[in-house]
Amino acid sequence: MIYKNCLKNAFLLLCVVFLAACEEPYTPEVLEGQNNFLVVSGFINSNGPTTIRLSRTQNLSESGGPVMEQGATVQVEEENGIKFPLLETNPGTYSSNFLPLISSKRYRLVIKTAGKDYASDYVEVKQTPSIDNVTWKAESDGLQIFVSTHDVQNKTRYYRWEYEETWEYSAFYYSGLEYVNGEMRNRAPENSIYLCWRNFKSSNINLGNTVKLSQDVVSNFPLIKVPSNSDKIDRKYSILVKQYAQSKESYEYYEALKKNTESIGTLFDPLPTQLTGNIHSVSAPSEPVIGFINISSVTEKRIFVSRSELPLNWGSPRMFCTLDTVLLGEESTHFNGGYNIPIHELLTETNVLIGYASASRPCGDCRVYGVNVKPDFWQ
Amino acid sequence: MTQLYRIAFLLSVMMLFGAATSSAQTAGEPLLSLHLKEASFEDFVREIESKSDYRFFYEPATVDSLKISVEVTQKSLSSILAQVLPEAKLSFAITPQGYVMITQGKEFMANLPEGFFNREAVPTQGRPAARPSSGAQPYVAGEKDKKKATSEAKLYVIGVQRENASGRANLAGHLRDAKSGEAIIGASVYIQSPLLATTSDQYGYFSLTLPIGQHDLLIRGIGIKNSKRRIALYSDGKLDIEVEEDVRSLKEVLVEAEKDRNVAGMQMGMERLDMRAIKQVPTAFGETDILRVVLTLPGVKSVGEGSTGMNVRGGSTDQNLILFNDATVYNPSHLFGFFSAFNPDIIKTVELHKSNIPARYGGRLSSVLEVVTRDGNKKKFSGSGGLGLLTSRLTLEGPIAKDKTSFMVAGRSTYSDWLLKKLPQESFKKSSASFYDVNAQINHEFDSKNTLYVSGYLSKDRFRLGSDTLYSFANHNASVKWKHIFHNQLYSVVTAAYSQYGYDVNSENNPVNASHMSFGMNQANLQADFNYFLNSKHTIDFGASSILYNVKPGSLQPVGSESLIMPDVLQRERALESALYVSDQIDISPRFSVYVGLRYSMFNALGPREVYAYAPNVPKSESTILDTLSYGSGKSFAKYHGPEYRVSARFGLTEHSSVKMSYNRMRQYIHMLSNTATMSPTDTWKLSDANIRPQVGDQIALGYYQNFRNNTVEFSVEGYYKKMKDFLDYRNGATIILNHHIETEVANAEGKAYGVEVMLKKLTGKLNGWVSYTYSRTLVRLNNPQVSELINQGKWYPSNFDKPHDVTLISNYRFSQRFSTSLNFTYSTGRPITLPIAKYYDGNVARIYYSDRNQYRVPDYYRVDFAMNIEGNHKVKKLAHSSWTLAVYNLTGRKNPYSVYFRSENGQIKGYKLSIFGQPIPTITYNFRF
C-alpha cells in the first residue's frame, strides 16, 4: 500500500533526522532448509507461444544459477477437455506454439516430474487491453516513464507490467583500424565497434489496479525512473512495455511476492507471508510449490527517447581514457590478445607512418558492455 | 539524624514534666537587638546566648549551610527566630526554662496539649488543643466544621465526646499537599496499635474505622514527608490532612514510601509510578516520557524502539485500556511513537494493572494504564515548562478561588519542521512533521462533600513526507467527574467522558488519483462508581457503566474535479457496551484478606447496518457470502455478554512477607486492525459484530513478596498463565484498509502466555531504582481450517512480541540535592521474525521463499542510557527554579536491530539490518518552574 511505503520513508527520514546509522548489510547464520521445492514460472499465453520454466529452490548461501527441472511432462488441460503438451526446448524450459484456447473455458497446467504429480487450479482466460501509450517526462532527478491504458468494458481492473530497456551507446574512442591475423587494416563499417546496444529486462514487479476508480482507466502509471546520470540516456534510449491482464488472485499473489521481496522489514511494512500459489502437489498436498499460473494475452508498446530531447546537463560521468603510442614493429606484442584496440595511425608531418594510437579495450570497444549489432526495431 | 531525635526525645520528656502546667511563653520575653551580616548560625547563637539566658539546642548538621543576616532592635527572640528560620525550613520552640529547640522537619512541642492530664474535663467544642509556638489558630476538628490538620504537635479532637464511650468510630478525609493543595494518592494512613491501615485513593480520600480514643495517625507516601497527626477520636468525623512535599534536603532524607504496600497491599501485578521516578529515566530525546518508563516495568514489552505500543504479559497492543483522567485514549503516541502523547509536567501518577484488575475496569484483555493529572495548584499561581531539542512545553496553574477552585492549562509543541528544513536532501525539505497537545482542567470544591473535576485534552499530529501525502491524526478527550461524599464511609463518583480519535490521509500529487482517506471513531461513556467503607473488614465497590461507540471505519473521497477516485465509504458501526460490577475487599484477619469481584458486561452491536451472512464451517471469504442482512437504526443485531470474575487473596506469611494469588477474566469488544507489527497511524479499530466475536482472556497469577531492611527494599516474584480466545490474527496477505468485509481477512486465533517476573526495588536512599528479570512466552495458534488457512500447519507459534528473557536495571544515584545521575540497562531476547530459507529464480530474477511464521529471531537487544540532572540553586526567592538534564541514550552505541529484512536487488538477495538510534544520542533539556 502506498501508505505503508510512506511510513517506511518516514522512518528513514527520522533516521536521518536523528543522525543515527540506519540500514546496514546483515547476514544471519546460514539457514539450511529443505530446499528442493518445485518452482514454476511463466504464464499461459492465449495469443502466442507459451513458455513454462521449471526449477528447484536453493539455499540462500548456494551460488550458481538455478537448478532446472529436466525431463518433466508438462501440459495445458482444458477443463473436461483437450490437452496440449509442452515440449522441453531447453533444459527446464517447456514451450508450445500458439495454443487455441477458448476464452469462455478454464484451463490448468499439469506437471509430472520423476515420481510426483503437480497441477494448478483451473484458471480463466483474461484478455489484455492494448496499451494506450507509453510517455516520458524529464523530472528533476531523471527520466520518468509512464504507462497508460484502459478497458472500455471495465473488466480488466488488475494489471501487471514488464519492460525491456534497450539503449544505444558508444565507445570513448572511435576505432578506425583493426588488427587481424598479424596485419593492421582499416576497419570495415560492418565491423565497427564504436556504436553498441545493450538491453535489460525488468526484475521488479510492477502492479497497478483500478478497483477504486469508477472507470477502468490507468492514467500515467509511473513504471520506472532512469536516473539523470545513467549511461542509458547517453545517446538514445528505448523501452518496450509489456502489459498482462491479471486475475484478482494472480494480482494478489504478485502483490504478496512484491511485498516479500521488495519491501519488507521495517515495522511499518506488513509481515512477510508464506506465498500460496495456485499449483499443488497432487500426491502430497502439504508440499510447497512455488508459482502462480495465469492465462492472458500480452500487449506491447515501445518508445524511443533521444539524448537531444533531454536536459543538457544530464549524462553519465565519462570514463578515464588515454591513448598510448605503439611504434611500428610492436603491433603484435601490443594488440594480440585483444586487450588493446588500435584507434588511428600516427603519422609524421611528412605523412610517414610511425606507429598507432592505442586504447585499452573498454575505451575503444563498445562490445565490452553490449553488442554492436543494431536491433531490428531500432529507429 | 536519629541521634538528634534521641536527644530531642530525652529533652522533650524532661521538658514535659517541667512544663506540665505552663502555657507557651510569649509574654515577658526579654527583648534583643542584633546586627549580623552573613553570619554562621553558630555566631548567631553565640550572640544571643551572650545577650540573654537562652540556651540553644540543635543538630549542627542541619544548620551548617545557613547564613544569617539580621538587623533588629528590641525584638523578642520568637519574632527574630520567626523571621530567620523559615527560610531554612527550620522550626523552633522555646521552653519556659529558656531552652530554644531548633529542629528540622518536625516541630518540637514545648508544651503538652491542654487537658493532657485532665481528660474528663475537656469540653469538645471550640477549645484549643495545645499549640506550639507558631502563630496558628487553635483548632478542634468537628463533624461540621472541617478544617485542615497541618501540625504534628496538635491534638485534633474529632467528634463529640461522651462519657465512657467505647467501640469504634470512623475517620475520613482528604490527604493534600500543603503547598499546592494537590490530592495525595496512594499514601498509607494508619495507626500502629492495633495495626489498622488504609490507603488514600485517587482523590486523596481515606476512610478508616478506629477504636475510640487517642491515636497517633501515621501518614507515609511517595514524595511526601512522613508525618503523624495526634487525634482524639470520639465519634465519626472528618479530618483533612495537609502534608508537606518531600523536598530533598542537603542531608539525608528518609522517605518511607508506601513502605509495605508490596507486602501488605492487596494488589498484585500493579505498578504505580510517580513523576519523580519517571523523570529520572533518560529517554532518546531528553523529554520525560511516561510510556517509555512503563516499558521498563517487568511484563511490559514493545516490539521495537520507535513504538509506544505496549505488549503486557503477552497481550497485543490493542489490549491495553489507556485512561487519561478516565477518558479512553486510542493513540497514545506522537510522531510515529517516538514521543508519548502525555505532557509530563501535568501528570501526577501512572498506574498499570497487569493482573488482578479491579472490577471497576473492563473492556480490554491485558492491562489498564491509568494516567491521572495533577489538580492544579490551589494555593498560588505557578508555572513550569521545558525547552528541549525537539519540543517545548509550558504549564500554568493556580487558584481561581483559593483552596476551592483551581485550574491548570498545559501545552506542548514541536519544532521538528524547522529541523527538517535544515536537511540537505531535497525530498526532506518538502517534508514536514509536527505535533502538539493541549490540556486544560478545572477542579472545583463546592463544599466538603461535593467536588467537580473537568478536564479536556487534545493532541494532534501532522506529517508530510516527500511532497505527496499528508497524514494527520488527532485525539480529543473530555471528562467531567463529580465526586459526592454521602457520609464518611460512602462516596460516589459520577463520570461522563467523551473520546474521539481519527486520522486523515490526503494525497493530491496526481490529479487523477487525488484522494482523501479518513477514519474516525468516538465513544461516550457514563459511569457511576460507589465506594463503601462498610467497616474495617469490608470495603465494597460497586457501580455501573455504559459506553456508546460510533465508528466510521474508513472513507475514500476524490479531491478535485479531475480525480477518478470512486468514493468508497465503509458502513458506520455503532454499539453499546454496558457493565455492572460489585466487589468486596474483605480483611479477614490482619494476615489474610480476600478480594472478590464480579463484573458483568454486555455488548450490543446496533444498526443501521448491512451484515453479510457467511456459509458456516468454511473460512469466510467473498465467495462464501450467502446473504446480506439489513438492520434498521438502533436495532441490535449481535449480542454478547458474560461474567468477568476478579478474585484475589493475600496471605501474610510474616510481617515482611506475603503470598498473593489472583484469577481474572476480561472481555474485549473492540479490536485494532493493523497488519504491521507496531502501532501505526493508519491502524483502525473495529467493533465486534455478527462476524467478529469478542476476545476473552483468563489469567491466573501467583506471587511472593518480601520486604527487607525496614521495608526499604522490596522483592517480588510473580508467575502467571494466561489464555486468550478469539483475538484477531491476520490471514496471509490481509488487506485491512477500506475493506468492506474485514472478517474475510482476519481469523480468530487462540493465544497463551506464561511467565515469571522477578523484581528487586529500592525506592529510597541515595541509590535507588529497580532491577527486574522476566521470563515470558507468548504463543499463537491458528489451527481451525473452518476459520482460515492454517498458519504453520496449525501448530503453536511465537507471537510477534515473544521475547523470553528480559533484564532491566533502572538506577539513580544522588550525589547531592543538586546533582544526581541515572544509569539504565536493558537486555531482551530478539523478537521473532520470519526468515527467508530458500531462493529461487522467477524468470531471470532471484526471489526468496520464507520460513514458517516467526520461526527465527533477530539478534538480542541491549542498551545502556545515562543521564545527569543538575538542579539550580536553592534560594527560596528567585524568579524561577530551573534544572538541566543532560542525557545520553544508547551510551554504547550498539546497533540494535530494529528489524532484519531481505531485498532482491539487481537479481541478488541481500540481507539488511535496520537500527534506529544506532549510536549514542546526547540530549539536553532545560526545565523551569515558577
The nearest CA of chain B is from the CA of A171 a distance in Å of 24
pLDDT band at B545 (very low <50, low <70, confident <90, very high): very high
Is the Cβ pair B844, A59 closer than 8 Å?
Answer: no
Residues within 8 A of B (CB atoms), A 307-326 only: none
pLDDT band at B603 (very low <50, low <70, confident <90, very high): very high
Three-state DSSP class for B84? helix
On chain B, the residues whose CB falls within 8 A of the CB of A255 are 733
Residue B240 β-bridge partners: B148
The answer to whether B217 and B237 are in contact (CB under 8 A) is: no
Residue of A nearest to B840 (CA): A57
The whole-number pLDDT of residue B165 equals: 63
The nearest CA of chain B is from the CA of A41 a distance in Å of 6
H helix runs in B179-218, sequence order: none
The whole-number pLDDT of residue B909 equals: 67
Question: Which one of A2, A18, A90, A213 makes the best mutation probe of the B interface by having the most chain B beta carbons within 10 Å?
Answer: A18
Residue of A nearest to B800 (CA): A271
Is the Cβ pair B916, A33 closer than 8 Å?
Answer: no
Between the CA of residue B659 and those of B268, B447, B597, B705, what are the distances in Å? Answer: 10, 42, 19, 6
Mean pLDDT to the nearest integer, B74-97: 77
B572: number of Cβ within 10 Å = 15
- pLDDT tops 70 at residue B257: no
Q: Give the rounded percent of residues in chain B with a pLDDT score beyond 90.
A: 22
Tens digits of per-residue pLDDT, A35-46?
A: 688 999 999 999
d(CA A335, CA A326): 9
For residues A283 and A292, the model is more confident at A292
Question: Which one of A144, A219, A261 makes the best mutation probe of the B interface by having the most chain B beta carbons within 10 Å?
Answer: A261
Is the Cβ pair B916, A20 closer than 8 Å?
Answer: yes
- Cα-Cα-Cα-Cα dihedral of B106, B112, B115, B118, to 10°? 130
Residue A90 CA neighbour count, 13 Å, CB half: 8
Mean pLDDT to the nearest integer, B788-814: 85
In eight-state DSSP terms, residue A16 is H
Closest CA to A172 of A62, A43, A323, A3: A323
Residue of A nearest to B681 (CA): A7
Tens digits of per-residue pLDDT, A169-202?
A: 999 999 999 888 888 889 988 889 999 999 998 8
pLDDT band at B681 (very low <50, low <70, confident <90, very high): low
CB pairs under 8 A between A and B: 237
Torsion B281-B283-B289-B290 (CA) sign: negative
- pLDDT tops 90 at residue B206: no
H helix runs in B164-229, sequence order: none
The whole-number pLDDT of residue B10 equals: 46
- pLDDT tops 90 at residue B500: yes
The nearest CA of chain A is from the CA of B304 a distance in Å of 8
Mean pLDDT to the nearest integer, B544-550: 95
Smallest Cβ–Cβ distance between B564 and the set A7, A213, A288 belongs to: A213
Residues within 8 A of B (CB atoms), A 38-57 only: 39, 41-42, 53, 55-57
Residue A25 in contact with partner chain B when CB distance is under 8 A: yes
Q: Quick one: residue B554, left, alpha or beta (phi over 0 = left, psi -120 to 50 = alpha)?
A: left
- pLDDT tops 50 at residue B89: yes
The answer to whether B347 and B290 are in contact (CB under 8 A) is: yes
Smallest Cβ–Cβ distance between B850 and the set A59, A255, A272 belongs to: A272
The whole-number pLDDT of residue B699 equals: 93
The whole-number pLDDT of residue B561 equals: 85
Tens digits of per-residue pLDDT, A67-111?
A: 899 999 999 999 988 899 999 999 999 999 998 888 889 999 999
Mean pLDDT to the nearest integer, B194-217: 82
- pLDDT tops 70 at residue B727: yes
On chain B, the residues whose CB falls within 8 A of the CB of A164 are none
- pLDDT tops 70 at residue A228: yes
Is the Cβ pair B465, A203 closer than 8 Å?
Answer: no
Strand B320-324 to strand B391-401: parallel, antiparallel, or no bridges (unpaired)?
unpaired
pLDDT band at A267 (very low <50, low <70, confident <90, very high): very low
Smallest Cβ–Cβ distance between A26 and the set B307, B737, B912 belongs to: B912
Greatest mean pLDDT range, A160-169, B552-561, B786-795: A160-169
Grid coordinates representing B83 are 523571621
Residues within 8 A of B (CB atoms), A 171-230 only: 201, 203, 212-215, 217, 219-220
3-state secondary structure B646-681: EEEEEEEEECCEEEEEEEEEEEECEEEECCECCCCC
Three-state DSSP class for B83? helix
Q: Quick one: residue A262, left, alpha or beta (phi over 0 = left, psi -120 to 50 = alpha)?
A: alpha
The nearest CA of chain A is from the CA of B805 a distance in Å of 21
Is the Cβ pair A23, B338 closer than 8 Å?
Answer: no
Mean pLDDT to the nearest integer, B704-723: 87
Is the Cβ pair A201, B844 closer than 8 Å?
Answer: yes
The answer to whether B280 and B812 are in contact (CB under 8 A) is: yes
Question: Which one of A8, A257, A271 makes the best mutation probe of the B interface by having the most chain B beta carbons within 10 Å?
Answer: A271
pLDDT band at B341 (very low <50, low <70, confident <90, very high): confident
Residues within 8 A of B (CB atoms), A 107-126 only: none
A135: number of Cβ within 10 Å = 12
Is the Cβ pair A220, B737 closer than 8 Å?
Answer: no
Is the Cβ pair A262, B903 closer than 8 Å?
Answer: yes
Amino acid at A316: S
- pLDDT tops 70 at residue B718: yes
Amino acid at A236: K
Closest CA to B91 of B79, B99, B103, B82: B103
Smallest Cβ–Cβ distance between A15 and the set B734, B907, B916 belongs to: B916
On chain A, the residues whose CB falls within 8 A of the CB of B471 are 6
d(CA B365, CA B725): 10
Which of B378-382, B393-397, B476-480, B849-853 has the weakest average pLDDT? B849-853
d(CA B435, CA A55): 53
CA B321 to chain centre: 13
Residue labelled with grid coordinates 530554644: B100
* ipTM summary value: 0.76
Smallest Cβ–Cβ distance between B678 and the set A201, A262, A267 belongs to: A267
The whole-number pLDDT of residue A313 equals: 86
CB neighbours of B5 closer than 8 A, spacing ≥ 6?
A: none
Which of B171-185, B354-368, B595-609, B645-659 has the weakest average pLDDT? B171-185
Is the Cβ pair A13, B556 closer than 8 Å?
Answer: no
pLDDT band at A31 (very low <50, low <70, confident <90, very high): low
The answer to whether B11 and B99 are in contact (CB under 8 A) is: yes
Closest CA to A216 of A239, A243, A255: A243
Amino acid at B776: S
Q: Is the link from the previous residue into B608 a cis peptide, with omega within 30 of 0?
A: yes
Q: State the burial class of residue B742 (Cβ atoms within 10 Å of its Cβ: 0-12, 13-18, 19+).
A: buried
Mean pLDDT to the nearest integer, A309-336: 86
On chain B, the residues whose CB falls within 8 A of the CB of A270 are 675-676, 733-734
Torsion B378-B380-B386-B392 (CA) sign: positive
The answer to whether B397 and B406 are in contact (CB under 8 A) is: yes
The answer to whether B499 and B507 are in contact (CB under 8 A) is: no
The nearest CA of chain B is from the CA of A323 a distance in Å of 34
What Rg do the C-alpha atoms of chain B give, in angstroms?
31
pTM for the model stands at 0.69
Grid coordinates representing A237 are 534510449
Which of A287-296, B253-262, B458-467, B499-508 has the weakest average pLDDT? B253-262
Mean pLDDT to the nearest integer, B482-499: 92
Mean pLDDT of chain A: 85
Q: Phi and psi dihedrals of A276, rounded to 5? A: -115, 110
CA B841 to chain centre: 54
In eight-state DSSP terms, residue A173 is S
Residue A370 in contact with partner chain B when CB distance is under 8 A: no
- As separate numbers, helices (DSSP H) first and strands (DSSP E) second, chain B gives 9, 58
Closest CA to B593 of B210, B874, B197: B197
The whole-number pLDDT of residue B19 equals: 39
The whole-number pLDDT of residue B256 equals: 37
Smallest Cβ–Cβ distance between B420 and the set A17, A19, A60 belongs to: A17
CB neighbours of B2 closer than 8 A, spacing ≥ 6?
A: none
Is the Cβ pair A60, B848 closer than 8 Å?
Answer: yes
- Cα-Cα-Cα-Cα dihedral of B296, B297, B298, B300, to 10°? -80
Is the Cβ pair B917, A20 closer than 8 Å?
Answer: yes
- pLDDT tops 70 at residue B887: yes
d(CA A234, CA A169): 6
Q: Of how many residues is chain A composed?
A: 379
Residue of A nearest to B682 (CA): A3
d(CA B257, CA B279): 17
d(CA B348, CA B324): 11
d(CA A100, CA A78): 11
d(CA B545, CA B529): 8
Residues within 8 A of B (CB atoms), A 289-308 only: 290-291
- pLDDT tops 70 at residue B12: no
The whole-number pLDDT of residue B737 equals: 76
The whole-number pLDDT of residue A223 equals: 93
- pLDDT tops 50 at residue B131: no
Amino acid at B26: T
Residues within 8 A of B (CB atoms), A 241-260 only: 252, 255-257, 259-260
The whole-number pLDDT of residue B327 equals: 92
B708: number of Cβ within 10 Å = 13
On chain B, the residues whose CB falls within 8 A of the CB of A40 are none
Residue A5 in contact with partner chain B when CB distance is under 8 A: no
CB neighbours of B450 closer than 8 A, spacing ≥ 6?
A: B482, B483, B484, B485
Smallest Cβ–Cβ distance between B838 and the set A4, A33, A265 belongs to: A33
Tens digits of per-residue pLDDT, A111-140?
A: 999 888 999 999 999 999 999 999 999 988
d(CA B330, CA B499): 8
Closest CA to A78 of A45, A50, A105: A105
Is the Cβ pair A268, B676 closer than 8 Å?
Answer: yes
Smallest Cβ–Cβ distance between B840 and the set A66, A268, A269 belongs to: A66
